[in-house]
Amino acid sequence: MTGVEQLPEPVPYPFGEPVGLDLHPTYHELLASGALLRVRMPFGEPAWLVTRQADIKVVLGDPRFSRARAIGAQEPRVMPVRQRPGTILALDPPEHTRLRRAVARAFTARRTETLRQRATEVVGELLDELQKQGPPADLVPSFALPLPVIIICELLGVPYADWDRFRQWSDLVMSAGAVPRDRAVAALEELGEYLAGLAGQRRVAPADDLISALMHAADVEDRLTVAEAVGLSSGVLVAGYETTANEIANFCYLLLTSPDHHRQLRQRPELIGPAVEEMLRFVPHRAHAAFARVATEDVELGGVLIRAGEAVLPALIAADRDPTAFTEPDTLDFHRTDNSHLAFGYGPHHCLGAQLARMELQVAIGGLLARFPDLALAVPAEDVPWRTGMVARGPRQLPVTW
């Protein structure tokens, strides 16, 4: 057992800038031992880093670990921008449940299936343009980014013509210390003002979109404040495209550097569903651990006594390589039968857009390989440039040919 008086000296975290889709060796060491590691963050107080899946499920699902208690100047984090109190990512039930219900109807399985046809149309149009332009092409701006941006813009009611603006704001907000804090905070303010302007327009002229529904919930049903409606819109906009766009590019890179798996999907397109699930498990889509919790009482976790008031940091990027949860976790296996990954989180904060992201990934990867079965990298794999200094990981460019 470890008590407050015996807290070990925290080690610097992150362990280093991610290299491609590799998981840092330290995570493998922690997974093998099951140990919790005391880490010192770039911002906020130290925290216990948790890697094993069973322990992370406790952190994310047990009410003794509070997300709301972690919020504030001392929140352990890699981002300079603090999560704002009262937003959906900063609350515990029942307040979190109230906000989640207000937006959940836009992301039901039925709603997602109605969007599948639209996503298929968008993929077809993007691939038509790629084919027209001819190789070589950069899949990031021409394919991976536009699909989720178009879908989330239409769902929310945000003009697609403005996406260059909110992409810049999003990149600044999602920086892991790569830009000064004041620039990141200013970008968050500007994004909020932009969406508040759209919300004001919907009050006057409602439309069939999520912003209108949220404003109706605020103005008519009295289930939200206007600030909460704008905050939800901001969260859905950024989360609705950022991760999915990176994952489309990550999955393409993974397939183009793994000829056997590329061949499997070309020959057996019906594998696209389990293949996407396996790539979601295998690819550490975040650069670092995030979204700390604080223990509200003493809790034993991984052989360590976490004292009330201490912070814990769930490393979801490591959990899905846990040898106690998966057979041969470092092997990419499209025929894996039990794939209970945590790519979309766990517990009350499980990703609202999980079904939408799954659908977009299936449509994007399936459509791309069907249209260009001979797709290949146009540069050596080691020459593909990667995003740095960001919360999410993914190729900055992905040059391909066919």
- Higher local confidence (pLDDT), 392 or 276: 276
Q: First vs last Cα of the chain: how many Å apart?
A: 58
pLDDT score recorded for residue 388: 87
Cβ contact 311:13 at 8 Å: no
Q: What is the mean pLDDT of residues 230-258?
A: 92
pLDDT averaged over every residue in the chain: 92
C-alpha neighbours within 13 Å on the C-beta side of residue 356: 25
Tens digits of residue pLDDT in 8-43:
899 999 998 888 999 999 999 999 999 999 999 999
- The DSSP secondary structure of 148-171, one letter per residue, reads HHHHHHHHHT--GGGHHHHHHHHH
- Higher local confidence (pLDDT), 6 or 374: 374
Distance CA 252, CA 254 (A): 5
Cα dist from 160 to 34, 125, 138, 154, whole Å: 46, 15, 20, 8
- Higher local confidence (pLDDT), 177 or 313: 313
Tens digits of residue pLDDT in 355-386:
999 999 999 999 999 999 999 999 999 999 99
Q: How confident is the model at residue 332 (pLDDT cuts 50, 70, 90)?
A: very high
- The values of phi and psi at residue 177, to 5°, are 85, 10
Tens digits of residue pLDDT in 119-143:
999 999 999 999 999 999 999 999 9
Cα dist from 392 to 22, 171, 253, whole Å: 13, 10, 15
Look up residue 5 and give its amino acid: E
Cβ contact 300:222 at 8 Å: no
Tens digits of residue pLDDT in 161-193:
998 888 888 888 777 666 777 888 888 889 999
Distance of CA 99 to the CA centre of its chain: 19
Q: How confident is the model at residue 1 (pLDDT cuts 50, 70, 90)?
A: very low
